[in-house]
Structure 1
C-alpha cells in the first residue's frame, strides 16, 4: 500500500520502465522495518516469560514455571523472530530449560530426553554436563545408549577434573578398556589426585583380565604393586611386560624397576607367570580412527567437486536469467500495453501478498490457541519408582512377547523393552517397578521360590 502512495511521485521523472527500482527499495525498507519491530516484540515477550518462569521456580511452583517456559518456546517457534535471531535465542532458551529440568526433583521421560538432546548438541556446557553425570551416578550409572554422549562430554570437558573422574568411575564399573575409556583413564591418572589410587587398582585388574603387556600396562602394574595387597597377581602382568617390551629410553627405567621385583624368580617360574598375556601391538581403535579419517577426506573431496559443479550450473543459470530479464525490460519500455499489464500485475501481487499475510497470521493464532488448550488438558504421569526386575532377555521380540503373556496369566505386571547392545539387539522382559532395591530383590526371590521365574536381577526402570 505504501508503494501505491509513493510510486506516483517517482513515475513522471523516471518513467514506468524504472518504476520497479523505487518499488523494490520501498518493499525492502518496509520488510526490514517490520522484521525489526517483530523481533523486538518477540524478544521482549520471551524475556518476560523467562522472568516469570524464574519467579515460579524460585518459590517451588514447577508447574507454573513449565507453563511459562512453554509460552516462551511458543514465541520462539512463531513467525515473530527472524531465522538468525531465532537460532541465537533458541540456544539461550535451551540452556535455561536444561538447567530447569536438572533442578526438578520430579523428572519425567520428556525432561530426561530434552537434557540428553541438549547435551548432544552442547557437550561444552560444563555446568549441565557435570550435574547430569552426577545425577546419573546417583541413579545407578550410565545406560548403553548414553555411551556416545559420555564420550562427547569427555572430549569437550578434558580440563574438568570432576567430569573426568565421574566418567572414569563409569567406565571402570562397566569394565571398559576401549579407546574412549583409555583416554579418560590417562587424563585422570595424569592429575595425580587422591582418587587416582582406586582407579589404578581397578585399572590394573582390567589390564590383567585382558592380558595386556604394553608400556602403559607396565606403568599401571608397578603403581598398583606399590598400593595393592594382591601382589602375586600383579607379578604375572609385570613378568609378561618384561618379556614382551623392548628396551627404549621411555621403558628403560620401568623395566629396571620390574626386574628388581622378579630377581628371585627363575625362568620356569617367569614363563608360567606370563602365560595368557598378549604381546603389545597397535590398538585397533587407532587403526579404525585412521580408516575413518581416510573416508572423511574422500567424502570431502567428492562433496567439494559436487559443490563446484553445482556453483557453475547456478552461475550459468543466473547469467541466462539476467539476459532474459534485460530483454524483457527493453520490450516493456517499447510497448504501452506491456506497461499497463505490468502496472496491474504489481497491484495484484501486492494485494495477494497482503491477503496471504493476514490469512497466515489469523490461522497461526488459531492453531496456537488450540495447541495451548490441548496442552493444558494433557497431564503427564511421572514414574516415581526407579527399579524393576529383569527376568529374561531374548533375541526375538516374538519370544519376549510370548513370555510376557505367560507372566500376565500369573497376574504379574510384566512388559518388555528393546535394548541395543554392542553387537546384538536384546528384548528384555521385566516385571513391575519398586521404590528401592531391597523390595525388588525380596519380590524376585518370592517369584523364584514359587517357580514362576528362573532367575532375575534388579535393573533401572525404563518406561516400556
Structure 2
C-alpha cells in the first residue's frame, strides 16, 4: 500500500503540472472556437493524457534501470564476485520498490528480480548462505522451475532448517513434477526425514518405488522402517516390505509385516504377484506361527478379522481350474449320447456352481448367480400364470363418435357488409359485439392489392331490397354505421 501511495502521489503531481502548462498554452486558442462553457472538457483530456504519459515514462525508466542492474549483477556473479553482485541485486530491489512502477506494472520486473535472486542464493554454495524467504517466495510462484526446485531440495536434504512454508512448497513442487523421478525421490527422502505418512507422502513414496530405475536401497529401507513403525498393511506396504527384504534387510519386523499383509490383503490380479512372493518367503513357517506373528504385528485388526488360510489365494486358483475341468468334462460326456443330455447338463451346472463357489471373487459370484436364479424363477411363474389363467373377454372397440352435423346450406345471394379491418382481431371483436345484439354476424377474408381485409357481414337476403331495408333498420337503431349490399360469401372458419 505504501508503494501505491508513493507512486500515485508523484504521478499525480507531475500530471497536474504538465496538464496545467498544456492548458495555459492551448486553452486561449480553444476558448475562441469552443467558448468558455466547454473548457472543462479539454482540461480533463489534458490531465488524463498527462497521467497516462507520466506512468508510461516512469515504467520505461524503471525497466531500463532494471535491465542494466540485473545484467551487471549477472556479470559479477559469473566472475565470482558475489559481494558486488549482491549489492547490484539490492539496488534492483530498491528500483522495483520505487515510484517508477505502479502496482500493476511492477509484477513483471518483480518476477524477474525474484527469479535472479533465488538462483543467486541457491548457487551461493552452502545452505547457510541461502535466503530461505527469497527462494520460498520464488518457488511458490514458479514451482515448475526444475533447477531451482532440485537445488532447494538438495539444500533441505543437506540439513537446511524447515520452516512453516517448507511443506507447502514441497507439495507444489511434487504437483508440478509428477513424472520427474529424481525430484520425486528427493521429495520422498524429505518426507521420510519428517516421518510423514499422509496422503501426499504416500503418493510420493509410490511414485518413487514404481519407477523404471531401482530406487536407492537407503530409501527402500527407510520407507520400510516408517511403514513398520506405523503398522501399515496395504498394497504399497507389502511391496515395500518385499523390496526391503530382497535388498538384505534383516529387520525382525519384516516377516510379521509380510504375514499380516498376507492375512489382511484380499488377493486381486494386482496384488496376487506380491502375495505369491510373500508366500514364498514365508513358506518355512507353519500356520500357527504365522498367526502369532500377525497378531503381534497388528493385534487389534487381526483379532477382529476372520481367520484366513495362508494359502487361500492359491486354493482359489486350484479350485478355479478344478471347476472348469469338471464342467468341460461333463459337457464332453453328454455330447456323444443324446440320452445323457440331462445328466450332462446337471453335471455341468454342478461344475459351474463349484466354480463360482470357489472362485477368486466367490462372494460376488454367489450373489450374481442367486439373483439370476430368482429373476428366472419369477419370470417362469409370471409366464405360467398368464398362460394358464382365464382368458380375458374380448374388448369391443368404442363406438365411433357421431359425425358433426353439416352446416346449413345458404342459397340467398345477398348480405350486408358493415365494416372492414386490416387486423383479424378487430374483425373478430366487432363480430362478437354484433352477435351479442342478436345478429347473424360473421367475417370473411378478402385480398386487395398487397393488403388483406377482414370484412364483417350480417345475415343473408333473397333480394337487394330486403338487404337495404334491414341495413336501414340497423342504422336507425345505431347498431351499425355505414353499410352496403354485397354478394353473399361463405364465412371463413375461425
Q: Which TM-score bucket, shorter chain as reference? A: 0.5 to 0.7
Provide the residue aligned with 1:28 in structure 2.
Answer: 48
SS at match of 1:83: coil
Provide the residue aligned with 1:94 in structure 2.
Answer: 114
Aligned equivalent of 1:55, options 56, 70, 75: 75
Deviation at 1:36, TM superposition (A): 1.8
Provide the residue aligned with 1:151 in structure 2.
Answer: 171
Provide the residue aligned with 2:271 in structure 1.
Answer: 251
- Distance in 1 (CA, whole Å) between partners of 2:63 and 2:113 is 11
Deviation at 1:279, TM superposition (A): 4.6
Q: 1:193 to 1:279 in 2, by over 3 A?
A: farther
- Distance in 2 (CA, whole Å) between partners of 1:108 and 1:4 is 61
Which whole-Å deviations, capped at 9, do the CAs of 1:72-93 have from their partners, x for residues lacking one?
1111111112332211110011
Aligned equivalent of 2:31, options 1, 7, 11: 11
1:227 aligns with 2:255: no
Deviation at 1:198, TM superposition (A): 3.4
Q: Which has the larger radius of gyration?
A: 2
SS at match of 1:230: coil
Provide the residue aligned with 2:287 in structure 1.
Answer: 267
Provide the residue aligned with 1:201 in structure 2.
Answer: 221
Q: 1:110 to 1:189 in 2, by over 3 A?
A: closer
Q: What does 1:1-400 align with in structure 2 at a 5 Å threshold?
A: 1-105=21-125, 111-138=131-158, 140=159, 143=162, 145=164, 146-230=166-250, 233-275=253-295, 276-277=297-298, 279=301
- Distance in 1 (CA, whole Å) between partners of 2:57 and 2:163 is 48
Q: 1:14 to 1:47 in 2, by over 3 A?
A: same
Stretch deviating more after TM superposition (262-271 or 45-54): 262-271
Which whole-Å deviations, capped at 9, do the CAs of 1:22-46 have from their partners, x for residues lacking one?
2222222222222222211111111
Report how many aligned residue pairs link the two structures: 279
Residue pair 1:175, 1:206 contacting (<8 A) in 2 also? yes
- Distance in 2 (CA, whole Å) between partners of 1:229 and 1:137 is 23
SS at match of 2:137: helix
In the alignment, structure 2 segments of 5+ residues that lack a partner are: 1-20, 303-494
Deviation at 1:186, TM superposition (A): 1.3
TM-score by length of 2: 0.51
